Structure 1
């Protein structure tokens, strides 16, 4: 199980998803009159983002233990890739909604930026893609060995 490189990629993807819940993803400096305040957005700010993120993290961990059923492991990893892309898109759109809510409430955004942990879903997608590729190669190798018997 641990000898397979895709297991390490799946664990890396799970670690990236798990750490995303602890860090801020977006920071904005807001000016309301003479006062300047900072507002942060993280994964726990939106229940939808948090639940999809936890589903992708748990699915990565479940896929680690499905090493005997490679077809199911491959399908779940591909589904997980799509969910990780969904997390990335959800973060982008929720941050846009948050910025629009700040502007509509009478505030002015002086400076806004995505923070480094906001790009962890990209790391998840890359790790999951590499894991899916390794699972596919294993399945191809087993099929070729079955033909030789």
Structure 2
């Protein structure tokens, strides 16, 4: 039985890193509220258009980057854009958590604020692996 070449690209370490980064951001939207107040009520709603748009764009960039496994330079650029998007998302979370009204109640920051950082780490690792692959291909081309 012959399988398409794309299925075998899951064995590349950068693809695994990108999938983990995508799952972190997906988990951010699905399971974890980003900021809760003392009563456990989500202060930053998941339905906010800005947060939803940033999360959706980050997941979409990760999927597109995974699917363009034959174009390493494009993957590298898409991952860089995704890193910038995750920094913007992190900035939105930090800004919103610092400007909450009624700070007499101690606001509890959930794991949702950390997930963009984890995603950034995995995207950086993916870019390092892509760079290593690109350097390997260039060194083989020099030997020809």
The reply to whether TM is greater than 0.5 is yes
User: Is 1:24 matched up with 2:33?
Assistant: yes
Corresponding position: 1:141 with 2:139: no
1: CA distance, partners of 2:126 / 2:40: 39
- Distance in structure 2 (CA, Å) of the matches to 1:116 and 1:44: 14
Q: TM-score by structure 2 length? A: 0.86
Larger radius of gyration: 1
Deviating runs (4+, > 6 A) in structure 1?
Answer: none
Say which of 113, 124, 127 aligns to 1:129: 124
Give the structure-1-normalised TM-score. Answer: 0.84
Report which of the two has the higher share of strand. 1
Match of 1:119 among 107, 114, 123: 114
Classify 1:43/1:83 alpha carbon distance in 2 versus 1 (closer, same or farther; 3 Å). Answer: farther
Query: Could you say if the C-alpha distance between residues 110 and 42 of structure 1 is closer, same or farther in structure 2, counting changes exceeding 3 Å?
Result: closer
Describe the SS at the equivalent of 1:68.
coil
Instruction: Give the aligned partner of residue 34 of structure 1.
Output: none
Structure 1 alignment gaps of length 5 or more: 30-36
Which stretch of structure 1 is more off in the superposition, 37-46 or 117-126? Answer: 37-46
Task: Tell me the distance in 1 between the aligned counterparts of 2:22 and 2:142.
Answer: 35
Partner deviation per Cα, 1:32-76 (whole Å, 9 max, x = no partner): xxxxx5531346242111101110111111111111111111111
Structure 2 runs not aligned, ≥5 long: 1-8
| Residues 56/81 of structure 1: CA separation in 2 closer, same or farther (3 Å cut) | same
Change (3 A) 1:3 1:38: closer
